[in-house]
Structure 1
Amino acid sequence: MPSPSTAARQDKRTAPFALTQDADEAQRHAPIYAVIVDLLRKAIVEGSLEQGTVLLEGHVAEILRSTRSPVRQALRELEADGVVSRFEGRGFVAGPAGTAPRRIPLDPAMLGVDSEPDVARKTLGWEVIYDEVERDLVHLSVFGRYRVNEIELARHFNVGRTVVRDVLLRLESLGILEKDERLRWVITPLDAKRIHDLYELRSLVEPAALRAAIGHANRVEIERMIGDLHKAQRVYPKVSRTAMDNLEHDLHVQLLSQCPNKELLGSLQRTRCILTLSKHVLGVSTPMPEADPFMSEHIAVLQAAADGAPRKAADLLRDHLELSCEKVTRRAELVRETFALPEVSYIA
């Protein structure tokens, strides 16, 4: 079994076209990077973080008592939205491209937090570390099978074993992890054969689930999904990773969840690793496609659903999944060819 280096590394929908939800509840359930995105965006918009202020991920992480990884991810999302921008020096500046940098000392008040902040504690225990662990493990799944050391994972993030187990159980439910014959956690490889097998299952089950779901779905909500896709198309490829994931989730999870046959839905649960792979690599480890990667296909499916044509919607969904299988297989190949194996201290 190949072994990566063991060097240690450090639902509110946060898309720009998301439905509004209660802020406190949304923050409590959001991954830590999304909490930081909202916090920094608010500070810049409201002016407590002045235009031109230089933002270094290390300084922001220190103030928020976070690791650097979610801060780095948050700054990249804000850059994609034009809220912060790069300049000739190190880090980012608050403001759009061309904003002159101002080296103002950063303090908690500028970020809109107390002098003793702990942003991570505003989220559920397991969600503090979940997104980072999910990202690393789904990347590793493309390269092969690796063992996850529970104790080292807890030590790496300085969290309790209960938090770690909650994270691992969720990843198991998505088809990213499984237990080996010695009951140790191992990453389930996501090779071309498994991708094909998962799409074969999805092609059999998702169209049937969609046909059943349409009669129970809210037409207004379907129209909202279509509207979000059109908005994303107009700004593509300047669509954040979170927004792309939400658009995928709308059709393949939210709409299908209206299917009354829960056995059908249960059989799809471990195919979710496919959506997770795309969420973490599209526009990160692999370039954003020049052409719309799925939005036109989703619009066609959802429009048929909105029109009350379940058979047509199911056929269009089946066609979409067939095309998607080819795209995801190639996406995984690109990761193997170009992406450095993550250096994770809790992997053996």
Structure 2
Amino acid sequence: MADEQESTVEWVYGELTTMAIAFQLRPSERINEVALAKKLGVSRTPLREALNRLVADGYLDFVPQQGFFRRALDPQEIFDLYEVRKSIEVSGIGLAIQRAKAPDLEAIRDFLDTSSADIPGRTIADLVELDEIFHNRMIALSGNHELVQLLEKISGRIRFVRWIDMENGRRSVTQSEHRAILQAAMDRDEDRAKSLLGEHIDRRLDQIVEAVKEGYARIYIASSVMGRPEKVDIPPVRPGTGERG
């Protein structure tokens, strides 16, 4: 019985994580637990456990006496997450270069050859997934499972920025940068690989602010089309932070 309960919690957690990443739960929106439990076909107990896990993951906020809310899109927070991502990946690629065998790196080169093909019908979500797979596979070569798990959690929280990048035509640039990073790794040039990867990940604060504005516009576009435009306040950024190149 306990195993069945845990399995249900895991399933609900997976479903809610997908909804949160895709902003099917809209920023600052209060979670209607009764409606959500009915939609997922589960009781309130596993739903609550899953919601609490999403609070710990940074997707939701919990306000006593009010309930759970989808966390707002905060440019400063996303900027901070990009800094964390950069630190994780730059550290990870250094370990990967020291530990990876040549066939492991060649397998990633084969993956890039396959994934870069212009296949009709690929969605933006498909392209973002391929982008994440490259980064995850590179860091996995570090042999450090904790780094991989941290990267996966960070990636989920900034995925919408990657969606916007892809929709704005960054795909070809991303592919060439991936190849350059991989080549540096294959050459065992740790300094160059770290430099290229850091530049590839970097986002300036003003770029993230624009991405958040575009993200809000897309999330709420349905309301505007229906004649119910909603005012959305974007949290201010902290002074004295921001410009990176």
- TM-score w.r.t. the length of structure 1 is 0.49
**Residues 290 and 311 (structure 1), Cα distance of their counterparts in 2 relative to 1, 3 Å cut:** closer
Structure 1 equivalent of residue 188 of structure 2:
308
Q: Distance in 2 between matches of 1:249 and 1:291?
A: 12
1:27-68 Cα deviation digits (max 9, x unpaired): xxxxxxxxxxxxxxxxxxxxxxxxxxxxxxxxxxxxxxxxxx
Q: Distance in 1 between matches of 2:119 and 2:213?
A: 24
Q: Give the distance between the partners of 1:183 and 1:258, measured in 2 at CA.
A: 44
CA distance in 2 between partners of 1:219 and 1:169 (Å): 42
Does 2:66 match 1:186?
no
* Gapped regions of structure 2 (runs ≥ 5): 1-6, 224-245
Q: CA separation in 2, counterparts of 1:223 and 1:145?
A: 44
Instruction: Rate the CA distance shift 1:323–1:161 in 2: closer, same or farther, 3 A.
Output: same
Secondary structure of 2:117 counterpart: helix
Which residue, out of 82, 104, 109, partners 1:199? 82
In the alignment, the residues of structure 1 paired with residue 208 and residue 156 of structure 2 have an alpha-carbon distance, to the nearest angstrom, of 11
Q: State the alpha-carbon separation in 1 of the partners of residues 108 and 74 from structure 2.
A: 31
Q: Match for 2:213 among 333, 336, 341? A: 333
User: Considering only aligned residues, what root-mean-square deviation do their CA atoms show, in Å?
Assistant: 4.0
Match of residue 105 from structure 2:
222
Distance 1:187 1:265 in 2: 25
Q: Which residue of 2 aligns with 1:295?
A: 175
Pair 1:177-2:60 in alignment: yes
Deviation at residue 194 of structure 1 after TM alignment? 1.3
CA deviations on 1:223-248 (whole Å, 9 max, x unpaired) are 33333333333306853345424323
* Post-superposition offset of 1:321: 0.8
Give secondary structure in 2 for the equivalent of 1:210: helix
The 1:339/1:141 distance shift into structure 2, 3 A limit, reads closer
The alpha-carbon deviation at position 318 of structure 1 amounts to: 0.4
- Alignment size in residue pairs: 217
Indicate the SS of the match to 1:235.
coil
- Does 1:164 pair with 2:47? yes
Q: Equivalents in 2 of 1:183, 1:130: separation in Å? A: 21
1:85-124 per-position Cα deviation (integer Å, ceiling 9, x unaligned): xxxxxxxxxxxxxxxxxxxxxxxxxxxxxxxxxxxxxxx7
Q: Alignment identity in percent?
A: 24
Partners in 1 of 2:127 and 2:168 — Cα distance? Answer: 11
* Mapped partners of 2:104, 2:123: distance in 1: 22
Runs (5+) with no aligned partner, structure 1: 1-123, 344-348
1:85-164 alignment, distance < 5 Å:
125=8, 133-140=16-23, 144-161=27-44, 163-164=46-47
Corresponding residue for residue 235 of structure 1: 118
Is the Cα contact below 8 Å between 2:13 and 2:50 reproduced in 1? Answer: yes
Q: 1:304 to 1:220 in 2, by over 3 A?
A: same
What amino acid maps onto 1:176 in structure 2? Y
What residue in structure 2 maps to residue 70 of structure 1?
Answer: none
What TM-score results when the alignment is normalised by the length of structure 2? 0.65
Q: Which has the larger radius of gyration?
A: 1
